A and B are shown apart, each in its own frame.
Chain A
Amino acid sequence: MSFISFLISGISLGSIYALIALGYTMVYGIAKMLNFAHGDVIMVGGFVVFTAMSTMQQPVWLSILMGMVVCTVLGVTIEKIAYKPLRNASPLSVLITAIGVSYLLQNLALLIFGSSSQTFQSVVSLPPIRITETLVITGETIVTIITTVVIMVGLTLFINRTKPGQAMLAVSEDRGAAQLMGVNVNGTISLTFAIGSALAAVAGVLLCSMYPQINAYTGQMPGIKAFIAAVFGGIGSIPGAMIGGVLLGIIENLSRAYISSQLSDAIVFAVLILMLLIKPTGILGRKLNEKV
C-alpha cells in the first residue's frame, strides 16, 4: 500500500523531470549541444507567468502564452548571441558557454526579483483524485503527465511528418550534407531553440504549480535532474526523455523512502554514472553509425 503511494509520488516528481527533459533532449538531438541554460529558461518562464498573473492580473492562458513568447525570444536570442558563433568549436566550449549563460540568467533574476522565494499560485484548478484515504494524485500531476505525453507525441509527429521537422532530422544527421541539399541549417537550429524554449515555459509553469514557490534557483536542480533523465532515457530520443524522467522520479522517491532521505540525490547521480558505464547511449538511445 505504502509502496504504491511512494510510486505515485515518484511518478508525479518524474513527470516534471520528463517535461523538462523533452527540451534538453530535443536541442541535443538536433543541434548536438547540451543547453545547460535550459533549467534557467524554465525559471524565467516561471517568473514571467508569475509576474503576468500576480502583478499584471492577467488570466492564466494569457500569462502562459506570454511566458512562452518571452522564453521563445529568449531562447532564440541566447542561441544567436552565445551559441551560434561557436557552431564549429569543440563541444566543450559550447558546454562551458551554456553554463555561463545559466549563471547569467540566474543572476539577472536575482537582480530583478531578489532572492526571496515568491509564492506561486498554481495554475491548475483540477481537484486531486483520492483513490483511498492515503492514495492521492494531485491535479498538478495529472495535468503534467497529460501535457508531457501530448508534447511528446506532438514533437514526434512534428519531426517525422512536417517539412521543418524533416529538416531538423537532416541537420541532426549530417549538418554539412543538409546544407548542400538546401536546408537552412541556422534557421533550423533557431527553430529548435524556439520550440525547446517554449516548452521550457510550459515546464516552468507546471514546476512552479506543483511546488508553489519560485526564486532565481528554481530551475537549477530540476534542470540538472532532467538532464540526467534525458541521458538515462537516451539523449536525443524524445520518448526516451519521457521514460527516463518518470523512472528517475521513481528511483529518487523510492530511495528516499527505503534507503535514506538525505542520500536520494546522491543515489540519482550514482544511477547516471552506472548508466553511462553500462549503456552510454541510454535506454532508448540509438547507436548512430551513419557518419562513419
Chain B
Amino acid sequence: MNKQMKKLFSVTLAGVLAASCLASCGGDSKETTAAAGTEAAETEAAGETTAAAGETEAAGESTEAAAAEGGTFLIGGIGPVTGGAAVYGNAVKNGAELAIQEINAAGGVNGMTLALDFQDDENNTEKAVNAYNTLKDHNIKVLMGTVTSDPCIAVAERTYEDNMFQLTPSGSSVPCTQYENAFRICFNDPAQGGASAQYISTMGLASKVAVIYDSSTSYSAGIYQNFAQEAASLGIEVVAAEAFTADSNTDFSVQLQKIQEADPDLVFLPIYYEEAALILKQADTMGMDMTFFGCDGLDGVIGQLGADADLAEGVMLLTPFVADASDAKTQAFTKAYQEAYGDTPNQFAADAYDAIYTIKAALEQAGVTDPEIDPSELCELLKPAMTQITVEGLTGTMTWTADGECNKEPKGMIIENGSYTAIE
C-alpha cells in the first residue's frame, strides 16, 4: 500500500514538474493561451466601443478639452514603460511627446492639435493587445507603436482587422508590417543583419566573426539569420554561432569559451542590452579581450552595466541615430531632450520623434483636417500618402514603400568615454 502510494507520488511529482516547467519555460505560450480566453471577451467589448464611437459622444477622457479650434487629434502609443525593455518604451514615449509639443507649439497639423495617449505593455504580447483595446476605447485615430517586435506582431493583427493606421517606431521584426496598414521607422531585422555584415566588411573590421544570439526572440534570431547569409556572400567567416534562450540567459561562460577557442576578430551580439551587459561582465572575468559589435538592441548597455560601465568601452553598434552627431537637427533634439528628461536620447527616442513627424507629414499629404475622422477612413487616406512623402528625420532621410519598409542609411557608433560616439 505504502509503496504504491510512493510510486503514485513520484509519478505525480514528475507530472507536476513537467507542468511547472512548461509554465515557466514557455512564458509566452502560456500567455497566448490565456490571451485566447480574454481576447474573446475583449473583441466583444471593442465591438461595442466602435459602435459608440460613431455617435462621437464618447470622445474619451484623455482627449482633454480640445484646445485649438481645429480640435485634438489623438495618437495612441504602446510600449514597455516598465519591465526588461523599459529603456526602449520610455525613450519612445519621451521622444514622441517632445515631437508633439514642438508640432503643437508651431501651430499643429492642418489646424489640429496633436495629443498622445501612451499605454504600457511591459514587452508582453497579451498586455500589448489589451493596451490596444484600451486605446481604442479612448478613441485614438492612429497607432504609433508598438515598441518591441513580438507585441508589435500581435497588435498588427488587431490593427489590420480594424484597418487602423499603424506606424511602429522600432518594431523591427518582418511581420510587424506584414499588413498594408502598418509602416515602420526603423530598419527591419533582415536589413539590420545584412547591413551589419556589410558594415563590418566595408570598414574592414573583421574576417572571422563569432555570434551570440537569443534563439527565443524573433528580433535576435531574425538578425542572425540574415547576418549569416550576407556574411557568407561577403566572404566573412562565421567561426562560431552560439545561441541561448530566455530560460538560460544568465550563464554565458560556455558560449564565451567556445568563442575564445574559435578566436574571432569580432563578436557580433544581435541581442538586447540586459544579456549583453552580462556577457560583457563574464567576458571580462574570463580575461577575454574582444571587439563586440551589435545592433540597436545594445543601446542602453552602458546604463545596465552600472558601476562596470567601462566594460562597454569599444563596443560598436550599428544604429541610425547618434546623439552627438554634428547636424543642427540632432543637436537641437538632444538639447531639448536632455532639458526635458535629463537623459541623453537613444535611437528609440529619435525613432519615435521621427514617427510623430511622419504622421504629421502623412496627415498633411492626405489633407486631413477632421480630428474626429473614422480611423478606418483615415487609414485609407494615409496608406497612399505614406508612399508619397519624404521625411527629413533625425534617423536619416526616409521614404517608404507600400510594404511598410523605410529606406534610409545606417550609421555606425562606438562607445567611448562612457558615451555613444559616431564612427567617422
- A residues contacting B by CB (< 8 A) are 2, 5-6, 9, 12-13, 34, 36, 91-92, 95, 99, 114-117, 119, 121, 128, 130, 133-134, 136, 138, 211-213, 215, 220-221, 224, 227-228, 231, 253, 256-257, 261-262, 264-265, 269, 272-273, 276, 280, 291-292
Contact A262 B257 (CB under 8 A): no
**Cα A273 to Cα B82 with chains together (Å):** 38
**Which residues of the partner chain A approach B274 to less than 8 Å between Cβ atoms?**
117, 213
**Cα A231 to Cα B9 with chains together (Å):** 13
Residue B24 lies at the interface, judged by CB distance under 8 Å to chain A: yes
Chain B: minimal CB distance from A127 (Å)? 10
**Which residues of the partner chain B approach A99 to less than 8 Å between Cβ atoms?**
16, 20
Chain B: minimal CB distance from A11 (Å)? 11
Which B1-30 residues have a C-beta within 8 angstroms of A?
2, 7, 9-10, 12-14, 16-18, 20-21, 24-25
Chain A to chain B contacts (Cβ below 8 Å), 7 pairs: A9-B257, A92-B12, A116-B86, A138-B285, A228-B17, A272-B14, A291-B2
Interface size range of chain B in the complex = 35 or more
Contact B278 A212 (CB under 8 A): yes
Chain A: minimal CB distance from B96 (Å)? 20
**Cα A265 to Cα B22 with chains together (Å):** 12
Contact B251 A211 (CB under 8 A): yes
Chain A: minimal CB distance from B297 (Å)? 14
**Which residues of the partner chain A approach B101 to less than 8 Å between Cβ atoms?**
none
Q: Nearest residue in B to A139 (C-beta to C-beta)?
A: B285
Contact B247 A221 (CB under 8 A): yes
Given A133-B287, A136-B285, residue A117 in contact with residue B84 (CB < 8 A): yes
Q: Nearest residue in A to B86 (C-beta to C-beta)?
A: A116
Q: Nearest residue in A to B5 (C-beta to C-beta)?
A: A91
Q: Nearest residue in A to B306 (C-beta to C-beta)?
A: A119
Contacting residue for A13 out of B2, B21, B251, B260, CB 8 A: B251
Contact B305 A119 (CB under 8 A): yes
**Which residues of the partner chain B approach A36 to less than 8 Å between Cβ atoms?**
20
**Cα A92 to Cα B16 with chains together (Å):** 9
Contact A212 B83 (CB under 8 A): no
Contact B287 A276 (CB under 8 A): no
Contact A34 B84 (CB under 8 A): no
Contact A136 B244 (CB under 8 A): no
Given A133-B287, A136-B286, A220-B24, residue A261 in contact with residue B17 (CB < 8 A): no
Contact B14 A273 (CB under 8 A): yes
**Which residues of the partner chain B approach A116 to less than 8 Å between Cβ atoms?**
82-84, 86
Contacting residue for A257 out of B10, B250, B257, B307, CB 8 A: B257
**Which residues of the partner chain B approach A133 to less than 8 Å between Cβ atoms?**
287
**Which residues of the partner chain B approach A13 to less than 8 Å between Cβ atoms?**
251, 253
Contact B261 A2 (CB under 8 A): yes
Contacting residue for A224 out of B20, B261, B305, B307, CB 8 A: B20
**Which residues of the partner chain A approach B24 to less than 8 Å between Cβ atoms?**
220-221, 224
